[in-house]
Structure 1
Amino acid sequence: MPFDTPPINLVVFAGFKRIAHGSAADVLAHLRERKDDAPYLVFNEQTGEQLDLDVHNRGGAGAPAANAETPEETPRGVGRPKLGVVAREVTLLPRHWEWLNRQPGGASVALRRLVQEASRVNADRDAVRASREAAYRFMTAIAGALPGFEEATRALFAGEQNRFEALIDSWPADLRIHLHKLSAAAWSTTE
């Protein structure tokens, strides 16, 4: 697990009402204590991704099943696994490899430097895109049948905040509140 990975917080909706949110352990405890059998949806609070939880697994942690890496997926022996450095394949043209190999420290150091610089330069644009995608994932899973869904989606990706907010204004309050949270970084003035 990389060192800079934030803990996953979850949010749970039964219908359009938020019934739980917090750490995976807190949400699991809440869901296990529920007395009703109403269906619910669990989402990663930051990414809007819908998750499947094993609520009835009393022996394990019951952590979200999505995005779990298995030991078979992690390459062994190359890189510095204890530092989070993992070797993967990169396909480049010969002239690119020649340029990389001429750089101080070699290809790996040059690639890390290039990626770091690109991530710094594009941080704002990446945040806008991630926010829009998170709001879209959440909207698609829970609000697809609500009035104005398609137009709200178009407004979200067009960066039209006022139009988006007007279109979701009639939606249930808990849904709107979570969409405002997910889309907070989606409204960039620099695009």
Structure 2
Amino acid sequence: MDAAAIHACTAFAGTQRLAGGPVRDVARAVKAHLDAHPESQVLVFDNTSAHPVEFDLRGTVEDVLARVDRAAPSAAEPAESESRPRGPGRPKLGVIAREVTLLPRHWDWLAAQPGGASVTLRKLVEDARRAAEGADRRRVAQEAAYRFMSAMAGNAAGFEDATRALFAADAMAFQSLTQSWPADVRDFARELASRAFHPQQEAA
């Protein structure tokens, strides 16, 4: 994963947490560590998705940080959506016109609703999105925790059972099954998994 696409990450040297926080700070720490310990194995993970993060570590620390800075999106640059030609719709409200295919009875029902088809469809989508938010957050968090666990604790005692507890949303079992893991790996796995066990807190 490109470091420019994330906001914060965590680096591990073996099973020990080397650094965590803003991408620039972690890149500096990784560069310094590998310059001092070139034989060390360092893995970096996005703090949200646990996708691996790669740094271009060639040259000096200043060279590395300059590449990180150049890769980061600039606030002065227009967003991709803003730079595209505007199509039909109400652009000031961010409304985009796209084709929707429905049966005649669906169009008849929509046309009879207060506000018409567009207003009703937006309300239906918002209601469905809110109803699914907790489940969606849980799924994303489970995938992130599993991604990290597979990379860092795939051979650890209780990995398979901990994975089952994660996807069963059994927080107590997960805590117990990960207790014997290396402390930094265990704590980061628990941090990621906590979002799966308490998805509503993530939204707060």
TM-score (ref. length: structure 2): 0.68
Deviation at 1:141, TM superposition (A): 2.0
Q: CA contact under 8 A between 2:9 and 2:21: conserved in structure 1?
A: yes
Deviation at 1:88, TM superposition (A): 6.2
Superposition pairs for residues 26-65 of structure 1, below 5 Å? 26-34=25-33, 35=35, 36-37=37-38, 38-56=40-58, 57=64, 58-61=66-69, 62=71
Distance 1:122 1:16 in 2: 36
Q: Within the alignment, does 1:24 sit opposite 2:20 as a pair?
A: no
Q: Which letter does structure 2 place at the counterpart of 1:113?
A: K
**Unmatched 5+ stretches in structure 2:** 1-5, 59-63, 74-78
RMSD: 3.5
1:41-66 CA-to-partner distances (Å, cap 9, x unmatched) read 111112222222334454452559xx
Q: CA contact under 8 A between 1:24 and 1:63: conserved in structure 2?
A: no
1:55-86 CA-to-partner distances (Å, cap 9, x unmatched) read 4454452559xxxxx969x9643367786656
Q: CA contact under 8 A between 2:170 and 2:197: conserved in structure 1?
A: yes
Deviation at 1:93, TM superposition (A): 5.0
Structure 1 residue aligned with 2:3 = none
Structure 2 residue aligned with 1:151 = 161
Q: Within the alignment, does 1:13 sit opposite 2:12 as a pair?
A: yes
Q: Which letter does structure 2 place at the counterpart of 1:77?
A: R
Structure 2 residue aligned with 1:4 = none
Deviation at 1:133, TM superposition (A): 1.9
Q: Which letter does structure 1 place at the counterpart of 2:17?
A: R
1:94-143 CA-to-partner distances (Å, cap 9, x unmatched) read 65455556655555544433232223233333332232222111112221
**Unmatched 5+ stretches in structure 1:** 1-6, 65-69
1:124-175 CA-to-partner distances (Å, cap 9, x unmatched) read 3333223222211111222112222111111111122222222111100001
TM-score (ref. length: structure 1): 0.72
1:13-52 CA-to-partner distances (Å, cap 9, x unmatched) read 1211111111112212222333222221111112222222
Q: CA contact under 8 A between 2:12 and 2:19: conserved in structure 1?
A: yes
Change (3 A) 1:158 1:117: same
Specify the structure having the higher radius of gyration (Cα): 2
Q: CA contact under 8 A between 1:128 and 1:187: conserved in structure 2?
A: yes
Secondary structure of 2:12's match? strand
